Amino acid sequence: MRRLTLLVVILAVAAGVIACGSKSGNTITIAVVPKGTTHEFWKSVHAGAIKAGRELGVTILWQGPLKEDDREDQIRVVDTLVSRGIQGLLLAPLDDKALRQPVANAVRAGVPVVTFDSKLESDDPASLVATSNLDAGKLAGMHMGKILGDKGNVVVMRLHEGAASTTAREQGFLDAIATFPGITVVSSNQYAGALAEGAYRTGENLLASTRAAEGFVQGIFCPNESTTFGMLRALQNAGLAGKIKYVGFDSSDKLVQGVRDGQIDALLLQDPFAMGYVGVKTLVRHMRGETVPKFIDTGATVVTRENMNQPDIKERLQPNLDQYLK
């Protein structure tokens, strides 16, 4: 009987040690939920999160929807992860309203949340780590106005409704273009959807409806990687690549080649690696009781053929992710 009692005591002590260990920072599991898992942008976020996790000694659990417009799937992912007992959540909300309840549920369950890339219309997240998307869109608009010499017709192909980050970029671009009296926006109400294939089809339709091949369009703006690539394909297939001034967002090998070939005049380059890295660091600081800023701007840079080979820009355009993702 004494041996049984002693065994019970030992097991209880061991359980207490394990429980303490789960709060020590060594066995913390942080879930990182992107908007999608296919685009190069999210792979860079993943790599940055892993780097921060290694430095902090925390486990990074990466899971998200396949498509960047699948709100229901992202809600399901968040709910499932919270029920599995994660200690923290770093989330890029697909919709600034639809994800409010899942985040509220997570915080109520004791899971602190930091958002990245896009703002959530909620006070529940401890911080937002993102590009100042409105300002980045304004940078794109000012650059377009400059390369057009304040004259011409411009098309904006949007991503999809409810995406706070791209909506802000689109608005910033339109605000900046409005300061150029010689430029007219001839279309800004067409949505491409989350996939590059849909963006390609929408791009083809836009080029046709605005009579771009007849010289009625001088500039085009797209707000993210998939729309930028889809429109690039549409321009190439129409024989218009390099003939219409084109400003896009984000980076991939094919978009970098587009800049190099003179078919894309500029890319607004975010720092997705920093979003993942700073996002995890900020979340862990918050979990440890530290005060964190409500917004952390990871910045945006205008990349052109003239500056794309500068070492700092080249590293961000084509980062070496293998050391983190393989």
pLDDT given at position 2: 37
Residue 57 and residue 25 in contact, taking contact as beta carbons nearer than 8 Å:
yes
pLDDT given at position 22: 36
* pLDDT bracket for residue 163 (50, 70, 90): confident
Q: Is the pLDDT of residue 32 over 50?
A: yes
Residue given tokens 């024989």 in the structure block: 239
The pLDDT > 90 percentage for the chain reads: 83
The strand pairing partners of 191, in sequence order, are: 158
Residue 87 and residue 287 in contact, taking contact as beta carbons nearer than 8 Å:
yes
Q: Is the pLDDT of residue 38 over 50?
A: yes
CATH number of this structure's domain 133-269: 3.40.50.2300
pLDDT given at position 320: 86
Mean pLDDT (whole number) for 173-188 = 98
Alpha-carbon gap, residue 245 to 218, rounded angstroms: 6
Q: What is the pTM of this model?
A: 0.82
* pLDDT bracket for residue 122 (50, 70, 90): very high
* pLDDT bracket for residue 17 (50, 70, 90): very low
Domain ranges of the chain: 28-131+272-298, 133-269
Mean pLDDT (whole number) for 33-58 = 94
Q: Which residues of 152-164 are buried (b: 16+ CB within 10 A; e: fewer)?
A: bbbbbbbbbebbb
* pLDDT bracket for residue 24 (50, 70, 90): very low
Q: Is the pLDDT of residue 19 over 60?
A: no
The pLDDT > 70 percentage for the chain reads: 92
* pLDDT bracket for residue 190 (50, 70, 90): very high
Which range among 53-57, 115-119, 225-229, 320-324 shows the weakest confidence by mean pLDDT?
A: 320-324
Starting from the edge strand earliest in sequence, which strands make up the sheet with 59-62, in order? 59-62, 29-33, 88-91, 113-116, 128-130, 295-297
Residue 161 and residue 68 in contact, taking contact as beta carbons nearer than 8 Å:
no
| Burial status of residue 85 (CB atoms within 10 A of its CB: 0-12, 13-18, 19 or more) | exposed
pLDDT given at position 3: 39
Which tens digits make up the pLDDT trace of 211-262? 999 999 999 999 999 999 999 999 999 999 999 999 999 999 999 999 999 9
Residue 103 and residue 272 in contact, taking contact as beta carbons nearer than 8 Å:
no
**Which strand (E) or helix (H) includes residue 239?**
none
User: In the structure encoding, which two tokens stand for residue 132, read together?
Assistant: 């100042």
Instruction: Tell me the backbone φ, ψ of residue 166, rounded to 5 degrees.
Output: -75, -30
Closest CA to 79 of 96, 67, 63: 63
Residues 6+ apart with CB under 8 A from 317: 251, 256, 269, 303, 308
Q: Is the pLDDT of residue 304 over 70?
A: yes
Superfamily name and number for 28-131+272-298: Response regulator (3.40.50.2300)
Average pLDDT, the chain: 91
CA angle (193 as vertex; 187, 199 as ends), nearest 5? 65
Closest CA to 110 of 23, 13, 25, 26: 23
Amino acid at 135: D
Alpha-carbon gap, residue 208 to 117, rounded angstroms: 33
Q: Do domains 28-131+272-298 and 133-269 have the same CATH topology?
A: yes
Mean pLDDT (whole number) for 181-209 = 96
